[in-house]
Amino acid sequence: MQGRRLATTDELIAIVSPDSDAALDRLETWTDDRGIDCSVVDVGDDIDDAYDENRATLGVTLGGDGTFLEGIKSFAPRNIPQLGVNTGTLAFLARVEPEDVGAALDEVIHGRAAVDSRQQVAVDGPGIDATGINDVMIQHVPPENPIDRKITRLDVHADDEYVGEFEGTGVAVSTPTGSTGVSLSADGPVHYPVNNHTLQLVPLHTHQIGVRPVVFSPETELRITTRGQASLQVDGGRAHTILDEDDEIVVTGADQLAHVVRTSYDDHFFTAISKKLGWDVRDADGPDASAGGTTVGADGAAATGDGGTDRTTTTLAGPATSSGTDDPEPDTVDRALTIAKEAAQAAGDPLRELHGQVESVDVKSDKSDIVTEADHQADRIITTVIGNEFPDHAIVSEESARQTGTDSAYTWVVDPLDGTGNFAHGNPNYSISIALVENGEPVLGVVYVPETDELFSAVAGREARKDGARIETTDRDRLDESMLISGYDPDGTFLSHFYQESRGVRRLGSAALNLCYLASGSADATWEYDTYPWDVAAGLVIARAAGAEITDETGQPFAFDLETNDRAALLGSNGSLHPALLDHLERDTGLATPSR
């Protein structure tokens, strides 16, 4: 989950342990001051009455690590991100101190916190079907007579392969988060939990010196068979059962991740284990230890050592834009590029979630509701993130009213869901398009494809990039060697007249994607019968930066006009192919009379 998504938070659910009154008072004062709803639930109680799945919810726990784990049980299945406030003692997981709760939450609602998605472990067997963020422990049941046998034997298979027989107190299957608990006590290694989606099988008090922990992927099915009665506990007893002899359980990585919110008021991971677990490779109060887990950079975004991304701000020093304007203001555009990427990726989260629902909807009105909700959620995230960081800029979005800033030269042009028809039918060819326009000319473009996690971007006058790597158009100049893409083609004229002349014409259903695929060399040309500004603003910057030539159907330079609602035809190519396209348009299709 992208931290920028938290900017749309409009509801808090607080799970509160006893003796947390002072922290709760601070929390409720903060929510009252900002007009955010806050529901309070005692630790151990269900949150169903407080939770509204149609609202952007943040979970907060007030307590120690036990309360934090109870929060995971309630929040993770509902995909709610969770912030832990420490009113306990050890509090390795809950790292925000009560006096910092307001400042930490301010970072959250401005989209400047990071979200660390943690691997969970799932167990299924007789009398148990549970999920935990720390570990699953299978141990010998203490005998009634203290002189009776005190060991257990467990057979373990990994998928279809026999791992072996473990003899001793038992075994633990831990996540990277749980590696600092029972696993560490049993001489297992500490796992850095950020972006670490593994499981670790740890023998407990083994009777063989050569038996060591083993690391598995979360997709591995660990089948554990008891050779006597055994006790099974998840996360220290939050789920538990007694297994009989020859019972089999299956332990694997849970599909649902737990989303843990980290702010600049959290300790770094290694600071936390130095302070609380005696990690003596470094001084707990040494260099960087007081900086917290997150630093807020010049772009206003969180960069963390425990779940975030390190970002820096550079200075624009390139040639004039392809439209002939002067260089954009360096700091603004560089910062805007970072914000646009983060906003697009944050908006991709709910689109992916809702896209997975449309295939199972049979009633047309219900499917329409899902698409409308997808548009709304993505638009709200993007416009909120941009508005937080650039309050003086105007925003034009296909899905919402024009938001006008001051006299700034900058306007953001947003299409939160380009390819709505594809989205509605479960097709993955849809995208998010975000552009920055300076004095009427697009100078920055970001297009994100949620289903494939592809991120296209460019600043006018620089290189176009896909996932950070440079992209450029092809150099083909013959129609019969070229692959073409068609956008809206109402009577099939372009398709029928170009299909036989080329290596094929494809229609993807997203104008922004068409321009990006032209930019990356996946196609040699693209045609759009008519476009709106938000359809093409970002794609224009990306395609031009990659070397594309963009004109109208007559061969005149494409005129981007943000002030009109009139549609405009667009012909884009790698440049080399453009003369052949225009000749064919003039000679055979009747679509245009090119101007030379």
Between 582 and 297, residue with greater pLDDT: 582
**pTM summary value:** 0.81
**Tokens matching residue 427:** 């097709």
d(C-alpha 481, C-alpha 477), whole Å: 8
Does the annotation place 135 within a ligand binding site?
yes
Residue 570 in contact with residue 552, Cβ under 8 Å?
A: yes
Between 30 and 184, residue with greater pLDDT: 30
Does the annotation place 566 within a ligand binding site?
no
Does the annotation place 134 within a ligand binding site?
yes
Tokens 């900002």 sit on residue: 34
d(C-alpha 242, C-alpha 244), whole Å: 7
Does the annotation place 387 within a ligand binding site?
no
Other Cβ atoms closer than 10 A to 37: 14
Helix (H/G/I), strand (E/B), else coil: 125: strand
Domains and CATH numbers, the chain: 3-116+260-304 (3.40.50.10330), 121-253 (2.60.200.30), 330-462 (3.30.540.10), 479-589 (3.40.190.80)
Tokens 């307590």 sit on residue: 63
Residue 187 in contact with residue 203, Cβ under 8 Å?
A: no
Q: What is the band of 298 on the pLDDT scale with cuts at 50, 70, 90?
A: very low
Residue 458 in contact with residue 542, Cβ under 8 Å?
A: yes
Strands 568-573, 258-262: parallel, antiparallel or unpaired by DSSP? unpaired
Mean pLDDT over 431-448 rounds to 96
Q: What angle do CA 578, 473, 563 make, to 5 degrees?
A: 70
Other Cβ atoms closer than 10 A to 425: 12
Count Cβ atoms within 10 A of the Cβ of residue 113 and give its class: 0-12 exposed, 13-18 middle, 19 or more buried.
buried
pLDDT digits (tens, 9 = 90+) for 426-435: 899 999 999 9
DSSP 143: P
Does the annotation place 170 within a ligand binding site?
no
Mean pLDDT lowest among 156-160, 252-256, 273-277, 491-495: 491-495
**Tokens matching residue 81:** 């991100």
d(C-alpha 484, C-alpha 518), whole Å: 9
Task: Name the residue type at position 202.
Answer: V
Tokens 């013959």 sit on residue: 478
Closest by Cα among 109, 131, 118, 117 to 58: 109
- pLDDT at residue 86 greater than cutoff 70: yes
d(C-alpha 586, C-alpha 551), whole Å: 14
User: How many CA atoms lie less than 13 Å away from 81 in the CB half-sphere?
Assistant: 30
Does the annotation place 417 within a ligand binding site?
yes
Does the annotation place 37 within a ligand binding site?
no
Helix (H/G/I), strand (E/B), else coil: 415: strand
Q: What is the band of 324 on the pLDDT scale with cuts at 50, 70, 90?
A: very low
Q: What is the pLDDT of residue 492?
A: 66
pLDDT digits (tens, 9 = 90+) for 484-494: 888 777 666 67
Q: What is the pLDDT of residue 406?
A: 60
Does the annotation place 514 within a ligand binding site?
no
305 φ, ψ to 5°? Answer: -95, 5
Other Cβ atoms closer than 10 A to 408: 14
Q: What is the band of 118 on the pLDDT scale with cuts at 50, 70, 90?
A: very high
Sheet holding 57-63, edge to edge: 37-42, 11-16, 57-63, 82-86, 258-262, 114-118
Mean pLDDT lowest among 61-65, 254-258, 365-369, 419-423: 365-369
d(C-alpha 389, C-alpha 297), whole Å: 12
Does the annotation place 367 within a ligand binding site?
no
Mean pLDDT of the chain: 85
What percentage of the chain exceeds 90 in pLDDT? 59
Between 483 and 328, residue with greater pLDDT: 483
Mean pLDDT over 376-386 rounds to 94
Q: What is the pLDDT of residue 181?
A: 83
Q: What is the band of 587 on the pLDDT scale with cuts at 50, 70, 90?
A: low
Mean pLDDT over 251-259 rounds to 96
Mean pLDDT over 171-196 rounds to 89
DSSP string, 229-261: -EEEEETTTTEEEEEPTT-EEEEEE-SSPEEEE
Residue 337 in contact with residue 460, Cβ under 8 Å?
A: no
Say which of 19, 33, 65, 266 is annotated catalytic.
65
39 φ, ψ to 5°? Answer: -110, 135
Does the annotation place 66 within a ligand binding site?
yes
User: How many CA atoms lie less than 13 Å away from 348 in the CB half-sphere?
Assistant: 26
Annotation says 375 is catalytic: no
pLDDT digits (tens, 9 = 90+) for 146-161: 666 668 899 999 999 9
pLDDT digits (tens, 9 = 90+) for 191-215: 999 889 999 999 998 777 778 899 9
Task: Name the residue type at position 196.
Answer: N
Q: Per DSSP, which regions of 186-244 are E strands?
A: 199-204, 214-216, 222-226, 230-234, 239-243
First to last CA, the chain: 51
Q: What angle do CA 226, 231, 236 make, to 5 degrees?
A: 135
Helix (H/G/I), strand (E/B), else coil: 119: coil
Report residue 324 CA to chain centroid gap: 36
Mean pLDDT lowest among 95-99, 240-244, 312-316: 312-316
Residue 152 in contact with residue 140, Cβ under 8 Å?
A: yes
